[in-house]
Amino acid sequence: MKIAVIGTGYVGLVTGTCFAESGNQVTCIDIDEHKVQKLKAGEIPIFEPGLEEMVKRNTKARRLLFTTSYDETIPDAKCIFIAVGTPQKEDGSANLDSIWKVAESLAPLLAEDSIVIIKSTVPVGTNRKLAELLQKLTGRIVDVASNPEFLKEGAAIDDFSKPDRVVVGVSRPEIADTLHELYKPFLRTEHPFLSMELESAEMTKYVANCMLATKISFINEMANLCERVGADINQVRRGIGHDQRIGFSFLFPGVGYGGSCFPKDVSALISVAKSHQMEPSILNAVDQVNTAQKRVLFEKVNHYFKGDLQGKTFAIWGLAFKPKTDDIREAPALVLIDQLLQAGAQLKVHDPVAMNNVKDIYGDQLAYFDHHYDTLQGADALVIVTEWNEFRHADFDYILHKLSNPIIFDGRNLYEPDKMKQKGFDYIGIGLSSLK
């Protein structure tokens, strides 16, 4: 099938590459010329495990092309996936400007039997509005479908190639049949292809992300309470997780969720609810708890040093909003860095892949190190923000030897508190009993 994918960010690039990998002829369009030049040269502008090899393989086989030109691509495309950004506006609602711009570029070029599919996360009603706009611009009915994407950065190829489910919203069954055909290679293990109304598909994406964000804010609030009452969230988590109605996934306490999806999608759904005269109490709380949680590490550091952080040096491990990605959008590390700099501290930072993105923001306000152990020399404490795998088995004797004070603030509870104590550390995690 001939496919066009518009937007070559995390979602568009993975979508286009995985469709090419299953034998389709895919052209990815982006307005960012620099990005397209890089992609044409085989350079991947983002870090996503496994993506580079896959892009190279499919580019070489000429199943995957990159361009800035709608004119050369759209007239031949059967399926056109829109995967442009839908960032948050000041008022919390989703900014759909890029979607409407794409629609205007597409309209004069669409083939009679093409299907325009929104993969970006968009609020309820957007697909119908797109259908109306395309009808107005072309003078005929254009097939539109919603196909929200559930991939996770850091595991995007696996998630796309082996999805738990594929969701499509359609206005007539034939459109679902075409999309089902396209997705069949990824659903061979009998995972479902769910076809529904446009509005239900649009809502599914927001409800999924808001449910996950709710789990995170819930466990973070419980962790904060555990600290105060002398309980240990790690033990409580085990205690609840064996109940199959609750389970273990996504119930790890930490420093709050970040990234380009959860914060903006929670805000967008709050905005949708309000525009329908409903006050979404749970979502409001999820957002408030998360904003507060991003400040928790700083409060712990500040409390430990009795409010005197001027001239202190901190080693920071992990800057990306989660491991295996270079994405720092809404990352808790940025909130911590801002607070520590404001308090007069000096920061020595390391992240396996996100450091360049952080450099773009902070420049020489921070000292950057290619190896996490090199941040430790003379630091007053180590602060762990992102749970990269390589931090899990640390050489504690070396850390003890290098730090000026044996203190670790661990925003991800990577280590066992009792062992850390035995080693001689003051180990301050999230939701661990402070009464011992």
431 part of the interface to ligand NAD, by CB under 6 A = no
Closer by beta carbon to ligand NAD, 163 or else 431: 163
Binding test (CB under 6 A) with ligand NAD, winner from 3, 4, 10, 432: 10
Instruction: For residue 93, give the DSSP letter.
Output: S
Distances (CA, A) of 350 to 298, 318, 358, 368: 18, 6, 10, 6
Residues 103 to 142 in contact with ligand NAD, rule: CB under 6 A: 120-121
Q: Quote the tokens at residue 85.
A: 């950004």
11 part of the interface to ligand NAD, by CB under 6 A = yes
- The response to whether 186 counts as a known ligand-binding position is no
Return the sign of the alpha-carbon dihedral for residues 240, 242, 243, 244.
positive
Options 26-34, 215-223, 279-287, 408-416: segment touching ligand NAD (CB under 6 A): 26-34
**Side-by-side strand order, sheet with 313-317:** 367-368, 346-350, 313-317, 381-384, 407-410, 426-428
204 part of the interface to ligand NAD, by CB under 6 A = no
Instruction: For residue 118, give the DSSP letter.
Output: E
Binding test (CB under 6 A) with ligand NAD, winner from 3, 18, 30, 256: 30
Q: Quote the tokens at residue 244.
A: 């199959």
- The response to whether 81 counts as a known ligand-binding position is no
- Look at residues 217, 289, 225 and name the one whose alpha carbon lies nearest to residue 253: 217
Place of tokens 């994918």: 5
Shortest gap between Cβ of 293 and ligand NAD (angstroms)? 20
Options 24-32, 236-244, 246-254, 300-308: segment touching ligand NAD (CB under 6 A): 24-32
Closer by beta carbon to ligand NAD, 261 or else 414: 261
Options 9-17, 185-193, 225-233, 380-388: segment touching ligand NAD (CB under 6 A): 9-17
- The response to whether 360 counts as a known ligand-binding position is no
Shortest gap between Cβ of 99 and ligand NAD (angstroms)? 9
Distance of CA 385 to the CA centre of its chain: 16
Options 80-88, 272-280, 313-321, 357-365: segment touching ligand NAD (CB under 6 A): 80-88
Cα–Cα distance for residue pair 233/212, rounded to 1 Å: 19
What's the first-to-final CA gap in the chain, in angstroms? 63
Known catalytic residue: 210?
no
Shortest gap between Cβ of 369 and ligand NAD (angstroms)? 27
Cα–Cα distance for residue pair 347/333, rounded to 1 Å: 12
260 part of the interface to ligand NAD, by CB under 6 A = yes
Shortest gap between Cβ of 165 and ligand NAD (angstroms)? 14
Contact 403, 315 (CB under 8 A): yes
Instruction: For residue 186, give the DSSP letter.
Output: G
Binding test (CB under 6 A) with ligand NAD, winner from 3, 4, 5, 6: 6
Binding test (CB under 6 A) with ligand NAD, winner from 12, 169, 253, 431: 12
Distances (CA, A) of 36 to 30, 96, 353: 7, 22, 21
29 part of the interface to ligand NAD, by CB under 6 A = yes
Contact 65, 102 (CB under 8 A): no
Cα–Cα distance for residue pair 155/78, rounded to 1 Å: 28
Options 5-13, 345-353, 356-364, 405-413: segment touching ligand NAD (CB under 6 A): 5-13
3-class secondary structure, 227: helix
Binding test (CB under 6 A) with ligand NAD, winner from 96, 103, 109, 151: 151
User: Other C-beta atoms within 10 Å of 391: how many?
Assistant: 21
3-class secondary structure, 11: helix
Residue at shortest CB range from ligand NAD? 9
Would you name the residues annotated as active-site residues?
Answer: 261
Annotated binding site for substrate: 150-153, 205, 250-254, 258, 322
Binding residues for NAD(+): 30, 35, 86, 121, 153, 264, 329
Give contact residues for ligand NAD (rule: CB under 6 A). 6-12, 29-32, 35, 83-86, 98, 101-102, 120-121, 149, 151, 153, 260-261
Annotated binding residues: 30, 35, 86, 121, 150-153, 205, 250-254, 258, 264, 322, 329
